[in-house]
Structure 1
């Protein structure tokens, strides 16, 4: 996909609206609370806590500040996400903080399951993996680059463990091992403090602005 359809951006929302929507889902059983209602609501509640923590504590590196401040071309960073996604809760606030460093950058969000054609144009190993941020020229909506769904070190860990999990036949053992796996993923994010996300996104951004 070389350009993004303008109608997709018309349906996008900003980060503040995204945050408010998550609160609405939790307080009103909003229509976007998805198929597995009980587990989705549980995950979404945890994600809101993670997002709010990162909103307060995530720190942008000096390199991040310098590189993003130097951008002169107006851009839109379009992130595909879902409110129940644990990786999105860690990545989206970081992308938002990076975008806020330069008023020529606008960060917009759309929901993966509402835009399957867009998601299918940016598959990761054949899957609809999120979050995914697409870097666009604001005027032409030309795709300049994309990054996601998670830092490479963690991505390798996730893919390796998913292969192991898929071999488990016993339902209870699967639930136990999967819970342990998800805990390790969140611990990785906590230890990394968003630095890998910043570094890797900057590399894609450098290519996009070359």
Structure 2
């Protein structure tokens, strides 16, 4: 990959609303306690999604187990990498994926993980659109020189098929999509995201 990025784009002073994983979890707890979400769009539905997402993340923090192959590969990384994740508290796919990304990053101290809110970092988001849309979560991995090593997101390929099918059938209630995705994530047990991130890591070595 080795695609140069604008050094200023990810400079600490130019990023807004950035968090470690622990402080992001604290943010989730805060907005749920205040019956709201992150970002400019506030509604009872978004607050409800956020409350559900916090519960999912807390569960994954306790139950998600990394595959041995994943751990071995991540430990091969020697040169420092910076992992940036664009996310928001209301995003269901982020709730399923970000805890796994955080567990993988925590394996190797060469990896630093920074979470950032999508809507407060439009310059970054606009550089990493998916089919022209601001889909999240979005992981961007840079090396110590600021070169892009790989990107991933917004969801594993199996979940993307479910999402694409929903988009091709207008008129279906949104609740059907969320239920189908939840069943898929539950059955997959994080194996797909681990496998896909390992494919990216191999390219970064």
- CA distance in 1 between counterparts of 2:61 and 2:146 reads 28
> How do residues 127-166 of structure 1 correspond to structure 2 at under 5 angstroms?
127-137=133-143, 139-165=144-170
Corresponding residue for 1:207?
A: 203
Selected match of 1:75 from 76, 81, 89: 81
- CA distance in 2 between counterparts of 1:108 and 1:55 reads 17
Which sections of structure 1, spanning at least 5 residues, go unmatched?
A: 169-173
| Alignment coverage as a number of residue pairs | 199
- CA distance in 1 between counterparts of 2:114 and 2:106 reads 12
- CA distance in 1 between counterparts of 2:66 and 2:131 reads 29
* Equivalent residues of 1:34, 1:40 under 8 A apart: no
Shift of 1:140: 2.0
* Equivalent residues of 2:36, 2:43 under 8 A apart: no
TM-score (norm 2): 0.91
Structure 1 runs (4+) deviating above 6 angstroms are none
Shift of 1:163: 2.0
Shift of 1:10: 6.9
Output one character per residue of 1:19-69: Cα deviation in whole Å (capped at 9) or x when no partner. 001111122356836423211110000000000000000000011010001
* Equivalent residues of 1:81, 1:88 under 8 A apart: yes
> How do residues 34-53 of structure 1 correspond to structure 2 at under 5 angstroms?
34-53=40-59
TM-score (norm 1): 0.89
